[in-house]
Amino acid sequence: MNYNKKTIYDVDVKGKKVLLRCDFNVPQNKETGEITSNKRIVAALPTIRYLLDNGAAVIACSHLGKPKGEWKTKLTLAPVAKRLSELLGQEVIFASDIIGEDAQAKAAALQPGQIMLLENLRFDIREEKNGADFAKALADMADLFVSDAFGTVHRAHASTAGVAAYLPAYSGLLVDKELSIMGKALDDPKRPFVAVLGGAKVSDKIAVINNLLEKADTIIIGGGMAYTFLKAQGMGIGKSLLEEDRLDYALEMIRKAADRGVNFLLPVDHLCAAEFSADAEPVLVEGDIPENLMGMDIGPKTAALYAEAVKGAGTIVWNGPMGVFEFDAFAGGTKAMAKALAESGAVTIVGGGDSASAVEKLGFADQVTHISTGGGASLEFLEGKELPGVACLLDR
Catalytic residue positions, numbered: 40, 201, 353, 376
Q: Give yes or no for a contact between 391 and 1, defined as CB atoms under 8 angstroms apart.
A: yes
For the beta carbon of residue 236, count every other beta carbon within 10 angstroms: 14
Cβ-contact 267, 322 below 8 angstroms: no
Distance from C-alpha of 182 to C-alpha of 103, rounded to nearest angstrom: 36
The 3 state secondary structure assigned to 193-218 is EEEEECCCCHHHHHHHHHHHCCCCCE
> Residues 298, 222: contact at Cβ < 8 Å?
yes
**271 closest CA partner among 214, 319, 332:** 332
| Whether the Cβ atoms of residue 273 and residue 282 lie closer than 8 Å to each other | yes
How far, in Å, CA of 20 to CA of 15, rounded?
15
Q: What angle do CA 153, 367, 333 make, to 5 degrees?
A: 90
Q: Give the whole-angstrom CA distance, residue 41 versus residue 50.
A: 15
User: For residues 232 and 255, is the Cβ–Cβ distance under 8 A?
Assistant: no
Ramachandran region, residue 88 (left: φ > 0; alpha: ψ -120 to 50; beta: rest): alpha
Residue 355 Cα distances to 196, 222, 302, 310, 372, angstroms: 10, 12, 18, 16, 10
Long-range Cβ contact pairs of 303-309 (< 8 A, separation 24 or more): 303/332, 303/333, 303/336, 303/337, 304/336, 305/265, 305/268, 306/196, 306/220, 306/222, 306/265, 306/336, 306/337, 306/340, 307/336, 307/337, 307/339, 307/340, 309/194, 309/218, 309/220, 309/263, 309/265
Q: Angle CA(262)–CA(229)–CA(283) in degrees, nearest 5?
A: 115
